[in-house]
Amino acid sequence: MTAPLLEVVDLTKRFGGVSAVDGVSFAAAPQEITTVIGPNGAGKTTLFNLITGFVPPTSGDVIYRGQRITGMPAPQVAGAGIIRTFQNLIIFNETTVVENVMVGCHRWTRTGFIQAALALPAAVREDRTVRETAMAALALVGLEGRAHDRARDLPFGQQRLLEVARALVARPSLLLLDEPTAGLSAQEAQHLVALIRRLRAEGVTFVVIEHNMDVVMDAADRVIVLEYGEKIAEGPPQAVQRDPRVIAAYLGEEVPGP
């Protein structure tokens, strides 16, 4: 078995007396699609915040490419190739759609303050590459026609796709998507799943929080189920779907004995 790209070891986050994430461990192998499911408030987004350095864990470790990155500041985590999207969308509202995506290229571009101020040839060249990359990504999610509109004027579903395009141009090794199909039409969701598969083939590893079970069944290699911050099940989608604890978690019932 290949070494995992991401390992989460006994990760715990307590807010006051509440454990938002409680001793969660899992590993994601390269090019694997892991989905995280669970009822609202199960700690899925907190798990993402812990992995990406937005919230420091109370205990436990995050290991990426064999290196401990626990507690590393968010920009450095992103710099290392772990890119995320947000459940509630974070769009740079006042700028254009294409500029939003261009910011995604920040990680692998190099123009600094002085080079920019002097508009050195390298800065101008880099800018052209960035713009082309952004336009190509917009075409990939079907937004090329809206490139020059103001981002805030896009409907919710298109903003969701914009965020995905922005994450793609960052050329991530590990992409964490927080409910990427929420607000998308069935057709758009299907399109997105196809895109995720294609990127996986190109070498990207995914961890996806998802509520849409069709998408989960369709796309996931492995499913992790959280409830009250704890991992209650893990396995291939079909197996997890039949797991009585999972059924109980979703239906809120006692698990009947076997």
Partner 1 sequence: MTRRGAGLALLACGIAGLPFLASSAYLLTVFNIIGLSTIVTLGLILLGSSGQVSLGQAAFYGLGAYGSALLSRDLGWSPWATIAIATAATAGVAYLVGVPTLRLAEHFFVLATLGFGIIVNVLMVQLVDVTGGASGLRDIPGLRIAGVSLAADRAFYYLVWGLALAALLLAQNITSHRTGRALRAILGSEVGAAALGVEVSRYKMQVFVASAAYAALAGGLYAHYIRFISPSPFSLYASLFFLIMAVVGGLTNIWGGLFGAALITILDQVIRAQVPRVFPRVGGEYQTAIYGILLVLIMIFFPSGIVRGALDLGRLLRPVGPEPAKGGSA
Residue nearer to partner 1 on the CB measure, 103 or 232: 103
Binding flag, residue 118, partner 1 (CB under 8 A): yes
Contacting residue, 56, 71, 75, 203, with partner 1 by CB under 8 A: 75
Contacting residue, 14, 65, 106, 191, with partner 1 by CB under 8 A: 106
Contacting residue, 7, 22, 32, 99, with partner 1 by CB under 8 A: 99
Residue nearer to partner 1 on the CB measure, 160 or 222: 160
List the one residue out of 93, 92, 72, 91 whose CA is nearest residue 82. Answer: 72
Binding flag, residue 104, partner 1 (CB under 8 A): yes
Binding flag, residue 132, partner 1 (CB under 8 A): no
Lateral strand order in the sheet of 67-68: 18-28, 6-15, 59-64, 67-68
DSSP of 163-216: HHHHHHTT--SEEEEESTTTT--HHHHHHHHHHHHHHHHTT-EEEEE---HHHH
Binding flag, residue 94, partner 1 (CB under 8 A): yes
Window 54-73: residues binding partner 1 (CB under 8 A): 54, 73
Contacting residue, 102, 165, 224, 233, with partner 1 by CB under 8 A: 102
CB 84 within 8 A of CB 178: yes
